[in-house]
Chains A and B, each alone.
Chain A
Amino acid sequence: MTEPENFWPACLTRLEEELSSQQFNTWIRPLSAEAGDEGVVLYAPNRFILQFIKDRFLARIEALAIELLGEVSVELRIGAAAGAPVAVARPAPASSAPRSNGTPAASVDVESAVAKVAANAPAVAPTAKQTAVKAIGGGHESTRLNPSFTFDTLVTGKGNQLARAAAMQIAENPGDPAYNPLFVYGGVGLGKTHLIQAIGNHVYLKNPQAKIRYIHAERYVADIMRAYQHKAFDEFKRYYHSLDLLLIDDIQFFAGKNRTQEEFFYAFNALIEGGKQVIMTCDSYPKQIEGMEERLISRFSWGLTVEIQPPELEMRVAILMKKAEADNTKLDHNVAFFIAQNVRSNVRELEGALKRVVAYARFSNQSITMELVKEALKDILAAGNRQVTIETIQKTVADYYKIKLSDMHSKKRSRDIARPRQVAMTLAKELTSLSLPNIGDAFGGRDHTTVLHACKTIAEMRGNDSEIAHDYDTLLAMLRN
């Protein structure tokens, strides 16, 4: 039987024989161990390695422990063993990846060093508390803002000029009650995050002492849970209540999360009362957020509510040109125009298309010409052309409202039939490239002015009738899939 202190070296020798050097260096070598009479404790430098060891190797290590030490338990923890040599996490130089990949080894070292500090520090609780309430320190880092999101890099067009003007006002004058809170809403991928971060960056530039925090709502929810678990709730509260500017993204993530909504309610009130600026984004108009407390919804509308709309063609071209310029890519205006014409839905997809073009140019070692763009975007364009047909739209809408498909073409004008028909016409205009007369024809030979009227009516109703708005969005999502 092996002495406990010799267990880990013996175990390492065995594992090195059994595993590929790749596996051994990546997963086993970063571990350190403490073996005593009561059992073996293995320390992994981070949670990822810990989980991986647990899934793949723990059973084998346990078997080796029984073989070498007899009936003992093996426990996994994060950290480092008390007497572990500092170099333990470094893969053996002979087998380490080529020098050009020096970073991974370095990062493992840093991580294990951090873990060691944490494990050796007498009180572990405060570190846990600090992770629960991150970014209390100063400097731009603590704001969690992306420094490249500024007003200068934001392309302006019809869809966002109002929102931008409001944002500039607030950036110059944060806390002004007329604009507090600022509620920015609009579809996904239209630049809401960029806009509000531009405010944060502007405020920071003017006053680096200001306590600014940008956070995504999903993270905020997770942070609240973590604060609870680590009993660090008072710190959490104090931190959020002490901010000068709170930017919170995608507030719709709070839907149905009652505890979060309550905490946010207090933080919100404390900030607004103290004259501190609160800025939120959301994918829909405040009144349309489902699962959100009434008292929050009404507060969201206290200040200014602005919408960001999808970018029109000129703006999409401008976005491409700006993006290319930032990446030092030469892009002709007509090429940008072609991409912008074909990729319409949102800014992210537009940026994705540009990335594809640049990658293809690099791959095939050619400059960016119209031919190259057409070739590079072939599959994206083909996917976009896989258009929804007007028949599908009519069928989907009829099923949704439980009316007969023939009612789509009928002359009936009772509301329970006319309204779905108008919704279907509006969807047809949005989802197909058919002309209005063509759409009218497809709905029982109606005039194009009838289609136009339907589109106007539905657009209006979506603004003030949440039921229609919900129906429309649901149908849109169904048809796009």
Chain B
Amino acid sequence: MLDQLVLDLSPTPLPGFDNFLAQRNSEIIAALTAEGGERFVYLWGEPGCGKTHLLQAWIAHAELLGRASIYLDAKHEQLPDFAREASFIAVDHVDELAPDDQIMLFSIYNSLKESGEGRLLMAGHQPPMQAPVRDDLRTRLGWGLVFEVKALSDDDKLAALRHHAAERQLAIGDDVFRYLLTHWRRDLASLIGMLDMLDRYSLAMRRPITVPLVKNVLQTAPTES
């Protein structure tokens, strides 16, 4: 039998502060949205704890305020010199800045500091004093407000999965979520990705999303995403 073809119509919700689960991280959001708050913020935490989400939500927030903003991912691109002209600058994965880019970020930091305007939000895996970057940049990471982004608890993840499923109008029982939490990678990005995959798979197979279906998918899915 031919598989049912699935049109790619799935809506992707944009990262925003309101769809970030913030029970343990509400202080961060308060700091990021405060008017006249600290202009330099560094977030750190394990991969999958939601740093990139926060950075992008912050950029979306800046655009709502009508401010020129830019999101830069050190993992994938070089930092452009013109970035310093934006008033909200987000730099993701500072652990992976190439040596020249470290100088660029250093220089951007200094020009923002000197001008007294603009905001800089940076994120990395390590606490500032252990970040693998040049000394003068490392101390600057720790100069502003520093937050550890706490990974979600299992209950938080359950809530996130329920929320994500509801956004997509999927009726999925809690037993499925619990099964995923114990049998699949436990970071939220992988979990959400799996949920999306299940969504497509269930449409193609014309079967509801149940634990047996999930078992079926997990057996065929690559174990590392």
Are A and B interaction partners? yes
Query: Which single residue of chain A is at the shortest CB-CB distance from B111?
Result: A219
Q: How distant is the Cα of A283 from the Cα of B130 in the complex, in angstroms?
A: 19
- Is the beta-carbon distance between B147 and A379 smaller than 8 angstroms? yes
- Is the beta-carbon distance between B140 and A348 smaller than 8 angstroms? yes
- Is the beta-carbon distance between B66 and A355 smaller than 8 angstroms? no
The yes or no answer to A463 lying at the interface (CB within 8 A) is no
Chain B positions within 8 Å of A11 at CB level: none
Pick the residue among B64, B85, B106, B145 that contacts A359 (CB under 8 A).
B145
Q: How distant is the Cα of A349 from the Cα of B146 in the complex, in angstroms?
A: 10
Pick the residue among B31, B66, B129, B139 that contacts A91 (CB under 8 A).
B66
The yes or no answer to B222 lying at the interface (CB within 8 A) is no
Chain A positions within 8 Å of B126 at CB level: 481
Say yes or no: A355-B87 contact (C-beta < 8 A), given A363-B30, A481-B132: no
Chain A positions within 8 Å of B85 at CB level: 46-48
Q: How distant is the Cα of A188 from the Cα of B133 in the complex, in angstroms?
A: 13
Query: Which single residue of chain B is at the shortest CB-CB distance from A360?
Result: B27
Q: How distant is the Cα of A189 from the Cα of B109 in the complex, in angstroms?
A: 14
**Distance in Å from the Cβ of B124 to the closest Cβ of chain A?**
12
The yes or no answer to B80 lying at the interface (CB within 8 A) is yes
- Is the beta-carbon distance between A348 and B66 smaller than 8 angstroms? no
Q: Which of A57-65, A97-105, A233-241 contacts B (4 or more CB under 8 A)?
A: A97-105
- Is the beta-carbon distance between B128 and A352 smaller than 8 angstroms? yes
The yes or no answer to B163 lying at the interface (CB within 8 A) is no
Pick the residue among A96, A216, A345, A351 that contacts B66 (CB under 8 A).
A96
Pick the residue among A222, A359, A477 that contacts B38 (CB under 8 A).
A359
Pick the residue among B80, B110, B146 that contacts A352 (CB under 8 A).
B146
Query: Which single residue of chain A is at the shortest CB-CB distance from B27?
Result: A363
Say yes or no: A51-B114 contact (C-beta < 8 A), given A359-B38, A379-B147: no
Chain A positions within 8 Å of B129 at CB level: 345, 349, 383-384, 480
> How many positions in chain A have a CB within 8 Å of any CB in the partner chain?
48
The yes or no answer to B193 lying at the interface (CB within 8 A) is no
Chain B positions within 8 Å of A345 at CB level: 129, 139
Pick the residue among B66, B130, B145 that contacts A97 (CB under 8 A).
B66
- Is the beta-carbon distance between B80 and A188 smaller than 8 angstroms? no
Say yes or no: A380-B146 contact (C-beta < 8 A), given A101-B66, A359-B37, A359-B38: yes
Q: Number of A-B pairs whose CB atoms are under 8 Å?
A: 109
Quick one: which of A97, A359, A386 has the most chain B CB within 10 A?
A: A359
Chain A positions within 8 Å of B80 at CB level: 51
Chain A positions within 8 Å of B136 at CB level: 188, 250, 283
Q: Which of A359-386 contact B (CB under 8 A)?
A: 359-360, 363, 379-380, 383-384, 386
- Is the beta-carbon distance between B65 and A355 smaller than 8 angstroms? no
- Is the beta-carbon distance between A104 and B87 smaller than 8 angstroms? yes
- Is the beta-carbon distance between A363 and B31 smaller than 8 angstroms? yes
Interface of A: prevailing SS? helix
Pick the residue among B66, B130, B135 that contacts A104 (CB under 8 A).
B66
The yes or no answer to A346 lying at the interface (CB within 8 A) is yes
Quick one: which of B63, B80, B129, B143 has the most chain A CB within 10 A?
A: B129
Say yes or no: A104-B38 contact (C-beta < 8 A), given A48-B85, A219-B107: no
Say yes or no: A188-B38 contact (C-beta < 8 A), given A218-B106, A360-B27: no
Q: How distant is the Cα of A363 from the Cα of B37 in the complex, in angstroms?
A: 11
The yes or no answer to A144 lying at the interface (CB within 8 A) is yes
The yes or no answer to B183 lying at the interface (CB within 8 A) is no
The yes or no answer to B47 lying at the interface (CB within 8 A) is no
Chain A positions within 8 Å of B106 at CB level: 218
Chain A positions within 8 Å of B73 at CB level: none
Chain B positions within 8 Å of A348 at CB level: 139-140, 142-143
Q: Which of B76-106 contact A (CB under 8 A)?
A: 80, 82, 85-87, 103, 106
Q: Which of A76-96 contact B (CB under 8 A)?
A: 91, 96
The yes or no answer to A450 lying at the interface (CB within 8 A) is no
- Is the beta-carbon distance between B63 and A22 smaller than 8 angstroms? yes
Chain B positions within 8 Å of A219 at CB level: 107, 110
Q: How distant is the Cα of A100 from the Cα of B65 in the complex, in angstroms?
A: 10
Pick the residue among B63, B82, B139 that contacts A349 (CB under 8 A).
B139
Q: How distant is the Cα of A477 from the Cα of B132 in the complex, in angstroms?
A: 9
Chain A 241-268, CB within 8 Å of chain B: the 1/0 string? 0000000001001000000000000000
Q: Which of B1-48 contact A (CB under 8 A)?
A: 27, 30-31, 35, 37-38
The yes or no answer to A41 lying at the interface (CB within 8 A) is no
Quick one: which of A22, A250, A481 has the most chain B CB within 10 A?
A: A481
Chain B positions within 8 Å of A52 at CB level: 68, 70
Say yes or no: A144-B143 contact (C-beta < 8 A), given A104-B87, A349-B128, A383-B127: no
A-B contact pairs, 16 of them (CB 8 A): A97-B66, A100-B35, A188-B135, A188-B138, A189-B139, A351-B143, A352-B142, A355-B38, A359-B31, A359-B145, A380-B127, A383-B127, A383-B129, A383-B130, A384-B127, A481-B131
Chain A interface residues toward B at CB < 8 A: 22-23, 25-26, 46-49, 51-52, 91, 96-97, 100-101, 104-105, 144, 146, 187-189, 216, 218-219, 222, 250, 253, 283, 345-346, 348-349, 351-352, 355-356, 359-360, 363, 379-380, 383-384, 386, 477, 480-481
**What 9 pairs across the A-B complex have the smallest Cβ distances?**
A383-B127, A379-B148, A189-B139, A48-B85, A348-B143, A97-B66, A349-B142, A348-B139, A188-B135
Given A104-B87, A348-B139, A386-B130, 16 new contacts (CB under 8 A): A22-B63, A25-B66, A26-B68, A101-B66, A104-B67, A188-B138, A218-B110, A219-B110, A250-B136, A348-B142, A351-B143, A352-B144, A359-B38, A386-B127, A480-B129, A481-B131
